Amino acid sequence: MSDIEELNITVAVRCRGRNQKEVDARSSVVVALPDVTGKNEVSINTSGETGIAAQLSSKIYTVDKVFGPSADQQLVFKSIAEPLFRDFIKGYNCTVLVYGMTSTGKTYTMTGDERLYDGELSEGAGIIPRVLFKIFDALEDASSDDYMIKCSFVELYNEELKDLLDEAHDSNNVPKKLRIFDSAANTSGSNGSRNSSRTNSPKFTESHFASSTASSYSSRRKMRMAPNAANTLKSAKAPIPKSSSSTEISSAIHIQNLQEFHIMSAKEGIRLLQRGLKQRQVASTKMNDFSSRSHTVFTIMLYKKCDDENFRVSKMNLVDLAGSENINRSGAQNQRAKEAGSINQSLLTLGRVINSLADKSAHIPFRESKLTRLLQDSLGGNTKTALIATISPAKINSEETSSTLEYASKAKNIKNKPQIGSFIMKDVLVKSITAELVKIKSDLLSTKSKDGVYMSQENYKELTNELENYKTEIQECQRSIEKLNTQNAMLLKERKISNEINESQKAKVRNLGDNIEYLYDKIDRQHRNEQELSNVVQELMRALHAMQKSLQVYEDQGQRFQTEMERVLYENIGSFKKSLTNEIEKLKANVNEDNIDVDANINMVSKELYRIFDSLNSSSNEICQKFVRDISEQTPKHFQGIHDQVGNITSVVEAYSSSLMAHLSSVSEEYNNLKDYLNEQFFKNNFQEALDVHVERTYHQLKVSANSAFIQLRETMNEHLENNKNSMMQSLKSAAAEVVAKEMGLLNPVKQAWEKSLENINECDKLTNNFENNMHSAVKEVYGRIDQATNSSISAMVGVENNLSQLKDVSASFRNNSVIDTNVEGIKRKHELLKSQLQNNANYMQAATQKFGEIDKSIQDLLSTQTIPQLNSEERIESLLEQLNDRPLRPLGPSGKTPMRITYQVGSSSGLMQPPVKRSYSTSPIKEIDGNKRALSPPKRRLIEDDTSSKPREIQ
Ligand SMILES: Nc1ncnc2c1ncn2[C@@H]1O[C@H](COP(=O)(O)OP(=O)(O)OP(=O)(O)O)[C@@H](O)[C@H]1O
């Protein structure tokens, strides 16, 4: 449907010349427009100004066409009606409307001079006679079998429809009442919205006609059935050429009992038009201003063959509206005026419809008047429409003229979606015509043969039977209505109860929603707890780092202590070595002296040794005690801090764990409650039970009322009620199933989300358990490490204490060292030995001196007795020395090979101390020269280390 082109309504303005009344009133011309046609603008000056000022204050309206006083009927027809007429021949539904205040030329434009002059139309002929002639001209070449034309003429006055072609008006019979029905397509959406039926295809399918044809002609009484039934038959009834009970004004509207007349020529059409106008004239003479307050619609229906089987149906509605001044009058009229027909509801509504369509409102009030219902398809529908606004040029009508022009320019904005009309099958058309012909012939024969009888007995009987049938049907209908009313009341009650159930279910769903909100809240709280827990874990990690740092500090302190111990030991040992060396040097020096106090020296050395060891001992003691004191002071603090932190963390973890468990258990409980409810109660028992109860109650009530009302038809009614029960059960069940399906459809995503959240909670629970286990093991590990660190610290302290005791032992061993004493004693003995050797040497030297005297003496003797080269005393001494030097030197000491060796041992094998180092010092051998004992070379001191792992160091 979206590809259907939208087309604006064609709007034209036609202005007549001033009439006699206006001339007599000397009312000036206030409308400016071309005399014949031309510019599409109309301006009106209502200010009373003249000249240029008048032009400036004029209001201009732009339309599609403007016709001035000199525009003749032919021009208007050609410009406005003929284009639509061509579309009508093609198959489009078309409408031409004339609108304007009274006496402005609406009827003149639409009908004009309808009389025939020598079978021809006059110049003054309006649109309707011209269309009637034009249509047969257009179909001139076509075979008479290929088309059929029918006409209807309806008048709307005071919201009452009247068939102007009904012969009953002439014979003083009561004419059939015309009624408007919406077509089936429009019934469902006939709320006045322009979207309701505009896009419905007007095409009738073969099957549609095939199904309705048989029933439509089998019995005429069916035409008087209920509106809906009549509507379903409308398309089949449309082709009835004469005395048809119904027709269509638009594809969505159906007028029951409106007669359509088949015409074979333009003259027949003109005769029908004249008959209708005559009928209108009668009414007009009875009532003042009648013609200006009534609307007429002359409809031409064209059935044109489009193939062997089908005829295309198109319509042309030619509408002459009531005087537009009635719109303004209407608002001020009272009830009496309304009763008199002064208020033109239809015209009033037409104005509102035009406004609503122009403003593109959502609601178009088509249904508020019969006129707008009839024109529904012509305004904003599938019809091609043209509006001719007729105006007066005179100043005395300027207000009405302005109003008409306003409406015309508004109507210009209305868009239609024109569509080709519907089809009808040829067989249907032929059958309907044949049936009607048979009936007409029968009536004609009866009329000719019997005076006063206007129809055959057969037809009369048929009509009498029909009348009886109608009566029975009416009674049945009344009973049906009563029954339907009762059922309706029951259903309303049911609906009320269902609504209550629905409300309670909604409340339950709301409750569930609240529960879900509550659980989401809990989950949020749990998330917050997890966040706190993660903060606690970070705290714990920081505490562990601090503890590791503390352990590192202990290790560093231990390392420093060891280094300090080593330093002290080596420093003390170095100073000891130094002093010992000095003492040895002194000793050596003293050895060369005669009166040497060895005991004193030895004692001094011994004392010095004791002092050194004492100081070493005390400093070691001090350092150890300080270290132990530090450790003893710091360790409990550190461990207390760590213990406190771990305790805090443990309590936080336990609190979190218990709160988490409480949350999870409450969540779990809520979930179980919800699950139980969903599984056992939600939409399970209560709804079905309630439905059953209602159905049973309804059934019971229906049964009781049926029994009392229709005792004679009990069996039938029971069967009917059983059927109703089943169908009602079925429908209620399906409704309930649909409700349940919809509810479940709504609930399922929520349930899935809920289950998903439960899974997440379970996952979270699992993670929390894992985390708790990990925490426990981590804390356990931390405790283990603390214990380990404590143990290692304790063992380190024990080691330190051991070392201290060992140091004490070493000190004591130094004090009680028999080796030293032995050595001292050995030194003493050696000193004694040396002393004696020195004595001996002295003696020997003395003896040698004596011998020197003897030798000197013998030399002098020799010199005195022998001639030998003269030598001075010095040379002699040199020679003697050479002699002496030729003798082997005697080693020092009693054994002649005793290098002096001092051995001492330091350190212990404890973990913190270095492995024991054995150090040996040796002295060089001493040579005797010229009787003096002196070292041949400066004494060399070497450190001989047994320790292969450490670098040898020379100690000065
Ligand atoms: N364009 C015109 N040229 C010549 N005469 C005209 C023209 N328009 C209207 N008239 C004449 O004016 C008179 C009133 O016209 P008409 O009856 O058509 O008005 P109306 O709008 O239909 O009035 P009402 O609403 O009362 O029916 C008629 O005598 C008609 O001949």
C-alpha 486 – ligand 1 centre gap (Å): 57
Dihedral (CA of 195, 201, 202, 204) sign? negative
pLDDT at 599: 65
Confidence at 389, pLDDT banded by 50, 70, 90: very high
Counting ligand 1 atoms within 8 A of each CB, the residue from 22, 97, 108, 325 with the most, and so the one to mutate, is: 108
Q: Is 323 in the pocket of ligand 1 (CB under 6 A)?
A: yes
pLDDT at 643: 74
Confidence at 157, pLDDT banded by 50, 70, 90: confident
Render pLDDT for 776-802 as a digit per residue (tens, 0 to 9).
777 777 677 767 767 776 776 677 677
Nearest CA to ligand 1 atom 1: 16
Question: What mean pLDDT do residues 491-510 have?
Answer: 88
Give me 324's structure tokens: 């537009």
Distance CA 717, CA 502 (A): 32
C-alpha 392 – ligand 1 centre gap (Å): 10
Q: CA 819: distance to chain centroid?
A: 99
Residue the block writes with tokens 């002064």: 342
Render pLDDT for 514-566 as a digit per residue (tens, 0 to 9).
888 888 888 888 888 888 888 888 888 887 788 778 778 877 877 887 787 77
Strands 253-256 and 179-182 turn out to be antiparallel
> Among the ranges 218-232, 375-389, 608-622, 762-776, which has the highest mean pLDDT value?
375-389
The two counts, helices (H) then strands (E), for the chain are 23, 25
Distance CA 847, CA 868 (A): 28
For the chain, how many structural domains are there in total? 4
Counting ligand 1 atoms within 8 A of each CB, the residue from 15, 76, 103 with the most, and so the one to mutate, is: 103
Same domain, 189 and 271: yes
Nearest CA to 586 out of 249, 939, 82 is that of 939
Distance CA 397, CA 105 (A): 14
Give the relative orientation of helices 457-592 and 598-676 as an angle to the nearest 10 degrees: 170
Return the minimum-mean-pLDDT range out of 168-172, 191-195, 845-849: 191-195
C-alpha 67 – ligand 1 centre gap (Å): 14
Confidence at 377, pLDDT banded by 50, 70, 90: confident
Give me 688's structure tokens: 């079905």
Please report how many Cα atoms fall inside a 13 Å half-sphere around the Cα of residue 546, on the Cβ side: 16
Q: Are 401 and 392 in contact (CB under 8 A)?
A: yes
Same domain, 579 and 493: yes
Higher pLDDT, 372 or 589: 372
Kindly list the distances between the CA atom of residue 782 and the CA atoms of 272, 391, 640, 797, in Å, as whole numbers in the listed order.
116, 107, 14, 22
pLDDT at 271: 93
C-alpha 819 – ligand 1 centre gap (Å): 163
Atom of ligand 1 nearest to the CA of 16: 1
Return left, alpha or beta for 647; rule: phi > 0 is left, psi -120 to 50 is alpha, else beta.
alpha
Instruction: Give me the interface pTM, i.e. the ipTM.
Output: 0.98
Same domain, 864 and 895: no
Question: What mean pLDDT do residues 584-602 have?
Answer: 63
Residue the block writes with tokens 């003269």: 870
Q: Is 255 domain-assigned?
A: yes
Confidence at 394, pLDDT banded by 50, 70, 90: very high
> Among the ranges 46-60, 497-511, 743-757, 871-885, which has the highest mean pLDDT value?
497-511
Same domain, 293 and 244: yes
Kindly list the distances between the CA atom of residue 195 and the CA atoms of 251, 364, 381, 509, in Å, as whole numbers in the listed order.
15, 10, 9, 36
Atom of ligand 1 nearest to the CA of 14: 1
Q: Which residues are annotated as a binding site for ATP?
A: 100-107
Atom of ligand 1 nearest to the CA of 320: 22
Atom of ligand 1 nearest to the CA of 109: 18
Same domain, 208 and 264: yes
3-state secondary structure of 765: helix
Give me 97's structure tokens: 């409307």
Same domain, 639 and 515: yes
Q: Is 463 domain-assigned?
A: no
C-alpha 106 – ligand 1 centre gap (Å): 6
Question: What mean pLDDT do residues 696-723 have?
Answer: 67
Cβ-based neighbours of 825, under 8 Å, separated by 6 or more: none
Cβ-based neighbours of 940, under 8 Å, separated by 6 or more: 924
pLDDT at 796: 67
Give me 895's structure tokens: 């054994």
Q: Is 16 in the pocket of ligand 1 (CB under 6 A)?
A: yes
Return the minimum-mean-pLDDT range out of 69-73, 618-622, 887-891, 952-956: 952-956
Higher pLDDT, 924 or 617: 617
Give me 732's structure tokens: 């209620």
Confidence at 206, pLDDT banded by 50, 70, 90: very low
Atom of ligand 1 nearest to the CA of 100: 21
3-state secondary structure of 106: helix
Polymer length in residues for the chain = 956
Which residue type does 708 have? S
Higher pLDDT, 761 or 123: 123
Res. 890: pLDDT tops 60: no
Atom of ligand 1 nearest to the CA of 110: 18
Confidence at 943, pLDDT banded by 50, 70, 90: very low
pLDDT at 673: 75
Dihedral (CA of 706, 711, 714, 720) sign? negative
Nearest CA to ligand 1 atom 11: 105
3-state secondary structure of 10: strand
Render pLDDT for 604-627 as a digit per residue (tens, 0 to 9).
766 766 776 677 777 777 776 777
**Mean pLDDT for the chain overall:** 71
Q: Is 73 in the pocket of ligand 1 (CB under 6 A)?
A: no
Q: Are 186 and 200 in contact (CB under 8 A)?
A: yes
pLDDT at 526: 82
pLDDT at 122: 92
Which residue, of 854, 870, 887, is where some domain finishes?
Answer: 887
Distance CA 735, CA 498 (A): 11
Confidence at 338, pLDDT banded by 50, 70, 90: low
Render pLDDT for 403-446 as a digit per residue (tens, 0 to 9).
999 989 988 888 888 888 777 777 777 777 777 777 777 777 76
Query: For residue 85, what is the domain's CATH number?
Result: 3.40.850.10
Res. 154: pLDDT tops 50: yes
Same domain, 353 and 289: yes
Distance CA 493, CA 488 (A): 8
Q: Is 126 in the pocket of ligand 1 (CB under 6 A)?
A: no
Q: Is 403 in the pocket of ligand 1 (CB under 6 A)?
A: no
Res. 684: pLDDT tops 50: yes
Residue the block writes with tokens 């380190």: 796
pLDDT at 289: 61
Return the minimum-mean-pLDDT range out of 244-248, 271-275, 561-565, 770-774: 244-248
Confidence at 650, pLDDT banded by 50, 70, 90: confident
Q: What is the rounded (10 degree) CA torsion for 394, 400, 402, 404?
A: -120
Question: What mean pLDDT do residues 762-766 have?
Answer: 75
Percentage of residues in the chain having pLDDT higher than 90: 13
Q: Is 292 in the pocket of ligand 1 (CB under 6 A)?
A: yes
C-alpha 48 – ligand 1 centre gap (Å): 26
Q: Is 378 in the pocket of ligand 1 (CB under 6 A)?
A: no
Q: Are 612 and 576 in contact (CB under 8 A)?
A: yes
Question: What mean pLDDT do residues 66-80 have?
Answer: 94
Same domain, 579 and 527: yes
Atom of ligand 1 nearest to the CA of 19: 12
Confidence at 848, pLDDT banded by 50, 70, 90: low
C-alpha 379 – ligand 1 centre gap (Å): 25
Residue the block writes with tokens 């079925």: 730
Confidence at 918, pLDDT banded by 50, 70, 90: very low
Q: Is 823 domain-assigned?
A: no
Return the minimum-mean-pLDDT range out of 230-234, 752-756, 788-792, 811-815: 230-234
Q: Is 620 in the pocket of ligand 1 (CB under 6 A)?
A: no
Q: Are 337 and 344 in contact (CB under 8 A)?
A: no
Q: Are 300 and 149 in contact (CB under 8 A)?
A: yes
Question: What mean pLDDT do residues 18-43 have?
Answer: 88
Q: Is 23 domain-assigned?
A: yes
pLDDT at 855: 58
Kindly list the distances between the CA atom of residue 837 and the CA atoms of 455, 824, 845, 890, 894, in Å, as whole numbers in the listed order.
194, 19, 12, 11, 8
Which residue, of 887, 909, 930, is where some domain finishes?
Answer: 887
Which residue, of 864, 887, 910, is where some domain finishes?
Answer: 887
Distance CA 586, CA 602 (A): 11
Q: Is 820 domain-assigned?
A: no
Res. 398: pLDDT tops 80: yes
Give me 654's structure tokens: 């336990």
C-alpha 397 – ligand 1 centre gap (Å): 14
Confidence at 807, pLDDT banded by 50, 70, 90: low
Cβ-based neighbours of 81, under 8 Å, separated by 6 or more: 96, 127, 130, 131, 386
Res. 929: pLDDT tops 80: no
Res. 144: pLDDT tops 80: no
Rounded to the nearest 5 percent, the helix, strand and coil shares of the chain are 60, 15, 25
C-alpha 102 – ligand 1 centre gap (Å): 8
Q: Is 106 in the pocket of ligand 1 (CB under 6 A)?
A: yes
Residue the block writes with tokens 């015509």: 433
Range of the domain at 249: 7-449
Higher pLDDT, 771 or 852: 771
pLDDT at 140: 80
Same domain, 877 and 803: no
Q: Is 291 in the pocket of ligand 1 (CB under 6 A)?
A: yes
Question: What mean pLDDT do residues 294-306 have?
Answer: 90
Res. 78: pLDDT tops 70: yes
pLDDT at 683: 60
Q: Is 99 in the pocket of ligand 1 (CB under 6 A)?
A: no
Q: Is 699 domain-assigned?
A: no
pLDDT at 106: 93
Same domain, 516 and 657: yes
Res. 385: pLDDT tops 60: yes
Confidence at 214, pLDDT banded by 50, 70, 90: very low
Distance CA 261, CA 273 (A): 11
Q: Is 466 domain-assigned?
A: no
Q: Is 601 domain-assigned?
A: no
| Rg of the chain in Å (alpha carbons) | 70
Going by the DSSP 8-state scheme, the letter that residue 677 receives in this structure is: I
In 16-125, at which residue ranges do the beta strands (DSSP E only) sit? Answer: 31-32, 41-44, 59-62, 65-67, 94-100, 116-117, 120-121
C-alpha 100 – ligand 1 centre gap (Å): 10
Same domain, 779 and 848: no
Question: What mean pLDDT do residues 154-168 have?
Answer: 87
C-alpha 904 – ligand 1 centre gap (Å): 156
Return the minimum-mean-pLDDT range out of 328-332, 463-467, 749-753: 328-332
pLDDT at 899: 35
Q: Are 307 and 324 in contact (CB under 8 A)?
A: no
Question: What mean pLDDT do residues 905-914 have?
Answer: 35
Res. 177: pLDDT tops 90: no
Return the minimum-mean-pLDDT range out of 573-582, 586-595, 940-949: 940-949
Residue the block writes with tokens 């769903």: 509
SS (H, E, C) 272-322: HHHHHHHHHHHHHHHCCCHHHHCEEEEEEEEEEECCCCEEEEEEEEEEEEE
Confidence at 12, pLDDT banded by 50, 70, 90: very high
Render pLDDT for 132-143 as a digit per residue (tens, 0 to 9).
999 999 888 777
Higher pLDDT, 822 or 314: 314
Same domain, 38 and 165: yes
